[in-house]
């Protein structure tokens, strides 16, 4: 039940899957602490405000850098899950849930993934993306219920995102998924948290106190966005949906993306614009197929066969001798 003014607002245990975890008081979280660098913030000029925020934002990349080994682990797990027909499912609430939604929604356009391959679960549902939700993120049972609807399996990886690392909704969802055999990971901005204990792999980006104390839509969310970018970009690259550093699996659904696809094919293969357009048309508007056709000097049928055998990995379809007849 939601907290009321007639019950204690601190030291309330987080319960998930029938287990109680040690309560975490907000003042003990680094993301909730007072930031001396922004003292007197409300008396600053616009330029001073911008300078303070910018100086604090500059610390985010360093915090993320310290977590690169764990980020790399998650990249490989996501790549394996997607290769095996599984899914990446993000779970979050508030700002963290919105970061999850943003990353998952951008994968189809960038890498031509199916919407089902990279999903998000937002506490409160899609309506909570645009406005604060009255759904209680303090309910682990609600998190369990929402992830249960996705039927997580051993093929999937579920990533919980929570700046505090203690959001009961997210903890409950991750614990449920792990109990069902799914691989699990956590993206947090505090150490020694309930979510870290619930996940197989924990990515900790300690960004420190926010400019406005507790406003984790600032540095914490910036760190989360950087990390989710790394995870999906890294996984899709490992799967071969990127050739060199080019968006070779781009889905050409509007004029901008059509132009990008043409330019990518020209850059990868060295052909002129007319040849690129002609090949894209004969390849059924598939840049991966067109790329293999030109780079391996094969027809469409053979290019499609190679890509299928290589699980969509463009470089393997072009270069791997094991794919030769």
Residues involved in catalysis:
106, 137
CA distance 288 to 295: 10
The residues, any chain, with a CB within 8 Å of residue 62's CB and separated by 6 or more, are none
Give percent helix, percent strand, percent coil of the chain, each to the nearest 5.
50, 10, 40
CA distance 225 to 233: 12
Enumerate long-range contacts of 249-252, CB under 8 Å, 24 or more apart: 249/110, 249/111, 249/112, 249/287, 249/288, 249/312, 249/314, 250/109, 250/110, 250/111, 250/112, 250/287, 251/108, 251/109, 251/112, 252/280, 252/285, 252/287
| Helices of type H across the chain | 46-57, 60-65, 68-83, 94-111, 140-148, 168-179, 194-198, 219-238, 255-269, 273-282, 287-296, 300-309, 314-319
Q: Is the dihedral of CA 127, 130, 134, 137 positive or negative?
A: positive
The residues, any chain, with a CB within 8 Å of residue 13's CB and separated by 6 or more, are 20, 21, 22, 23
CA distance 214 to 193: 16
The residues, any chain, with a CB within 8 Å of residue 292's CB and separated by 6 or more, are 298, 303, 306, 307, 314, 317, 318
């Amino acid at each position: 039940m939601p907290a009321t003014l007639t019950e204690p607002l601190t030291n309330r245990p987080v319960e998930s899957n029938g287990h109680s975890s040690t309560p975490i008081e907000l003042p003990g979280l680094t993301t909730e602490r007072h930031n001396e660098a922004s003292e007197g913030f409300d008396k600053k000029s616009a330029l001073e405000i911008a300078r303070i925020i910018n100086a604090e934002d500059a610390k985010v990349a360093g915090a993320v850098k310290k977590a690169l080994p764990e980020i790399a682990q998650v990249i490989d797990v996501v790549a394996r899950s997607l290769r095996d027909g599984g899914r990446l499912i993000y779970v979050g609430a508030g700002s963290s849930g919105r970061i999850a939604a943003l990353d998952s929604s951008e994968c189809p356009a960038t890498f031509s993934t199916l919407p089902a391959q990279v999903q998000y679960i937002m506490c409160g549902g899609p309506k909570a993306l645009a406005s604060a939700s009255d759904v209680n993120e303090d309910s682990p049972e609600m998190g369990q219920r929402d992830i249960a609807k996705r039927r997580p399996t051993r093929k999937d990886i579920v990533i919980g995102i929570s700046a505090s690392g203690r959001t009961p909704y997210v903890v409950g969802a991750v614990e449920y998924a792990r109990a069902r055999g799914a691989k699990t990971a956590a993206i947090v901005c505090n150490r020694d948290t309930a979510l870290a204990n619930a996940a197989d792999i924990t990515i900790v980006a300690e960004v420190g106190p926010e400019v406005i104390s507790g406003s984790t839509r600032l540095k914490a969310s910036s760190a989360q966005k950087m990390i989710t970018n790394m995870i999906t970009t890294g996984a899709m690259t490992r799967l071969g949906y990127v050739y060199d550093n080019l968006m070779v699996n781009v889905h050409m659904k509007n004029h901008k993306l059509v132009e990008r696809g043409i330019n990518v094919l020209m850059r990868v293969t060295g052909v002129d614009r007319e040849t690129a357009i002609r090949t894209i048309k004969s390849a059924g508007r598939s840049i991966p197929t067109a790329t293999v056709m030109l780079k391996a000097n094969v027809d469409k049928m053979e290019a499609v066969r190679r890509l299928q055998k290589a699980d969509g990995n463009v470089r393997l379809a072009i270069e791997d001798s094991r794919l030769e007849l």
